Amino acid sequence: MPRSCRDCLPMMPTELSAVLPARHIQEECGVFGVYAPETTDVAPLAYYALYALQHRGQESAGIAVNDDGVFTAYRDVGLVNEVFPAERLRSLGTGTIAVGHVRYGTTGSDNKRNVQPILVNHYKGRMALAHNGNLTNSHALRQELESQGSIFQTTTDSEVIAYIIVQERLRAPSIEEAVSAAMDRIEGAYSLVISSPTKLIAVRDPHGFRPLCMGRLRDGGVVFASESCALDAIGARFERDILPGEIVVADKSGVKSDTRHCGKAPKRLCVFEFIYFARPDSVIDGSSVHVARQRAGAFLALEHPVQADIVIGVPDSGLDAALGVHSSHHCQYIVIVCPVGAYYPEGLNPVKIYVEDEDVRAVKGGTGMAKTGGNYAASLRAGDRAEAKGYSQVLWLDGVHRKYIEEVGSMNVMFKVAGKILTPDLNGSVLSGITRRSCIQLLKDWGYEVEERRISAEELFEAAENGTLEEAWGTGTAAVVSPIGELAEGDKKVTISGNKIGPVTQRLYDELTGIQWGRVADPHGWTMKVC
């Protein structure tokens, strides 16, 4: 009999809402912060990190960018991709610090005024604050602040934290000392990411109720996030979890840790992080969420044994537990061999490609570089738009900068520019295709210089305009080699190789298919007789 993981898991928040007062239990928020050593596009980093943290809050999203003390922010109700279309994201500009937040309210109503990050002005500077958690003494502190003349713009306890920090900052020598003093006054759950004019600060409450971790970017930048999955999404290396009670400060002098509040309270991580809240590919306090859920499923199966043919995880967070309830002991490996037609309707004739500037295929982290169904699901919408404009496929740009070429449709792509072969490097979101590798080897055998690097769409169009873009083609298992005859982006449109298959493209196709069919000698041992 089929069995649902719902039969043996504790009630989820949506179920608890039926027996507890409204808004008593909700999903948690997600926070993110980045400190860059030099002024750069920090807003896109915040965007993709928040996108990875979207499961922690679907109510609202916001990003604040700090450029040498000048704050530019945008916050609104909605999902990350709804709040930040490409143009609005660009309007945030560049900076060295960005703070981001996705919200599913625990305290306060659902309206726009409660959207974070919270921005506060005071005579010692400006501050942006993002908060995950809720205070147990929020009401008392709010009354105290209001009696002293504070005027609240929101109904959240996050604003209470901001005002307490500002109050302490007026008499403290630094923002980190103000945060430390504030921790003596606030009680409850809080993971904070705070931007002052010159510093990025991460704080975790002494109990460690809510998760918070730190990572490093390739350029030395420091990032903080509610979960490690956000670090993966932007190509940051996980460094460590923030300790319960720890204050970490990142500025131009480096990273400093203040542990004076550590060890003051017993550790009390919310167990629902592992049961429901967190993404399964995250690691929290040294423990894999996926493994924890799988082990929970195994214990539940021991507690409530049942003969089941199928175990179904309901909701999605129950999938990992379902694996633990009844893991598969036997797997079948199936290879399907069958004839296929032309991958594109044009066959081996050149195809028309449109540069996609709205959707992205994948970003580094998770399965970004893999050929999985999820990674290519985005191509459906983009492909429809391209087809409506008369194009066979799209040319994908990178997910962070939105300017570097990655793949064409579901294939790798190559260009012959001024006699040299250019192809995007394997950056974590580009498939390491077998056909790509075979083409590179053959091209090197023939004496061509092959350069694997970042190639911008702008560079490609410039090469087309000055006549150095000689050929372009896609490489993949199904199509083998597919020539590109026309490339378009917005109002720009260029023809490649006179809209005819180029000599290098034709030679690659003939050589690869010849090796596959046994008509051409295989110098590298790529083929194998199976029957």
Q: Do 185 and 163 meet the contact criterion of CB atoms below 8 Å apart?
A: no
Number of other CB atoms surrounding residue 419 within 10 Å: 10
CA distances from 348 to 8, 479, 486 (A): 55, 8, 14
CA dist., res. 57 & res. 84, Å (int): 15
φ, ψ of residue 441 to 5 degrees: the values are -60, -45
Does the active-site annotation cover 29? yes
Q: Do 481 and 473 meet the contact criterion of CB atoms below 8 Å apart?
A: yes
CA distances from 68 to 179, 195, 302, 467 (A): 21, 11, 57, 43
The DSSP symbol for 9 reads: S
Q: Do 110 and 27 meet the contact criterion of CB atoms below 8 Å apart?
A: no
Q: Three-state SS for 54?
A: helix
Q: Do 469 and 504 meet the contact criterion of CB atoms below 8 Å apart?
A: no
Beta strands (DSSP E) in 290-380 are 311-312, 351-355
Place of tokens 């909700």: 26
Q: Do 196 and 214 meet the contact criterion of CB atoms below 8 Å apart?
A: no
Residue 416, beta-bridge partner list? 421, 471
End-to-end Cα separation, the chain, in angstroms: 41
Indicate which residue of 5, 29, 270, 439 is catalytic: 29
Would you state the structure tokens that stand for residue 481, as one six-digit string?
A: 């080699």
Cα 276–chain centre separation: 19
Among all residues, which ones are annotated catalytic?
29
